[in-house]
């Protein structure tokens, strides 16, 4: 059976899900997106994703065409229509299709809202057991990375470089420090057991999984420090890991071909992953 997508008020087969070539998402990357995980047919940490969506659209003066409550209903309806058990819901809102290609905001144009789903067994992904290799690349992005914009060319190039090198993620580097992964937040565990992740700000996307992991760690009296760190520090660390909606918590076992510790996922990473999965299941909607 063909997958169902959502486009501007309608649920349609994926092959019929279309937007205009004049859509500003297509012409200018004038749009915002979110990815929420699905476990056992339920959305994970979705309130956090919808709060970030509202913030991102606010930062670019784009009005959502639906309330976030309605958006969640549509996400849930799409999961149901696709019989999705484990995977992700992708959603994108753009400034819509005008009659031409004016850079400035058009007047009276309705934003475009689309969604589709994909299947992935995030909990049992093989890389959750083995960890992943990462490579480093310069961070080529603009200076408002806190906005979850669909302008992802720098991340496409970064992740292609990683893929070509047989790595699972690219860590982006700026001024000698790791900003974040191509599509993930970065963490290390120092030799004195401090969990370190870069502080939020315009240099990185405020990851929803990052936020939950930091809160869950602090609730358990684990020490967390929000500050930038270098690749050298990561290579001298006890453990390194990444977080995102599409992989939860995943160990980083090498950086640019050099092992992190013994090159195996560490106990803290495994523990945080378990804690996160437990939280995810308990709060799913």
Q: Give the integer Cα–Cα distance in Å for 181 and 136.
A: 9
95 or 210: CB nearest ligand PDD? 210
Name the H helices within 124-178: 126-130, 153-164
Instruction: Look up 129 and say whether it is catalytic.
Output: no
- Quote the least distance from Cβ 210 to ligand PDD, whole Å: 6
Where are any strands of DSSP class E within 220-259? Answer: 223-226, 239-244, 248-255, 258-259
SS3 label, residue 188: strand
Tell me the CB-side half-sphere exposure of residue 37, using CA atoms within 13 A: 25
Q: Which residues form the interface with ligand PDD (CB under 6 A)?
A: 35, 180, 183-185, 205, 207-210, 243-246
24 or 49: CB nearest ligand PDD? 49
- Quote the least distance from Cβ 34 to ligand PDD, whole Å: 8
Q: Which two tokens stand for residue 268?
A: 């803290």
User: With 0-12 CB in 10 A as exposed, 13-18 as middle and 19+ as buried, what is 255?
Assistant: buried
- Quote the least distance from Cβ 13 to ligand PDD, whole Å: 23
91 or 253: CB nearest ligand PDD? 91
List the catalytic residue out of 42, 120, 129, 148. Answer: 148
- Quote the least distance from Cβ 106 to ligand PDD, whole Å: 27
Q: Confirm if 89 and 79 have CB atoms less than 8 A apart.
A: yes
4 or 122: CB nearest ligand PDD? 122
Q: Which two tokens stand for residue 93?
A: 């809102």
Residues belonging to the active site: 148
């Amino acid at each position: 059976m063909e997958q169902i997508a959502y486009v501007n008020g309608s649920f349609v087969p994926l092959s019929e899900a279309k937007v205009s070539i004049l859509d500003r998402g297509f012409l200018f990357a004038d749009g915002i997106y979110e990815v929420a995980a699905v476990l056992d047919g339920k959305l994970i940490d979705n309130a956090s994703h919808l709060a970030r969506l509202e913030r991102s659209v606010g930062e670019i003066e784009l009005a959502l065409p639906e309330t976030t409550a309605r958006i969640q209903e549509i996400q849930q309806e799409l999961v149901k229509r696709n019989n999705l058990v484990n995977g992700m819901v992708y959603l994108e809102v753009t400034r819509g299709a005008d009659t031409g290609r004016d850079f400035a905001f058009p007047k009276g144009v309705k934003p475009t809202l689309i969604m589709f789903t994909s299947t992935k067994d995030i909990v049992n992904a093989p890389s959750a057991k083995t960890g992943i290799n990462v490579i480093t690349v310069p961070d080529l992005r603009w200076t408002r990375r806190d906005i979850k914009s669909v302008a992802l060319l720098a991340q496409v190039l970064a992740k292609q470089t990683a893929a070509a090198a047989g790595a699972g993620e690219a860590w982006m580097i700026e001024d000698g420090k790791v900003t974040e992964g191509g599509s993930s937040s970065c963490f290390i565990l120092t030799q004195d057991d401090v969990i370190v992740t870069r502080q939020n700000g315009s240099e990185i996307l405020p990851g929803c999984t990052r936020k939950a992991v930091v809160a869950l760690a602090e609730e358990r009296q684990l020490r967390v420090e929000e500050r930038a760190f270098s690749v050298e520090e990561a290579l001298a660390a006890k453990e390194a890991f990444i977080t995102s909606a599409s992989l939860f918590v995943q160990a980083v076992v090498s950086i640019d071909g050099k092992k992190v510790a013994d090159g195996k996922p560490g106990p803290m990473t495994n523990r945080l992953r378990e804690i996160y999965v437990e939280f995810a299941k308990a709060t799913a909607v």
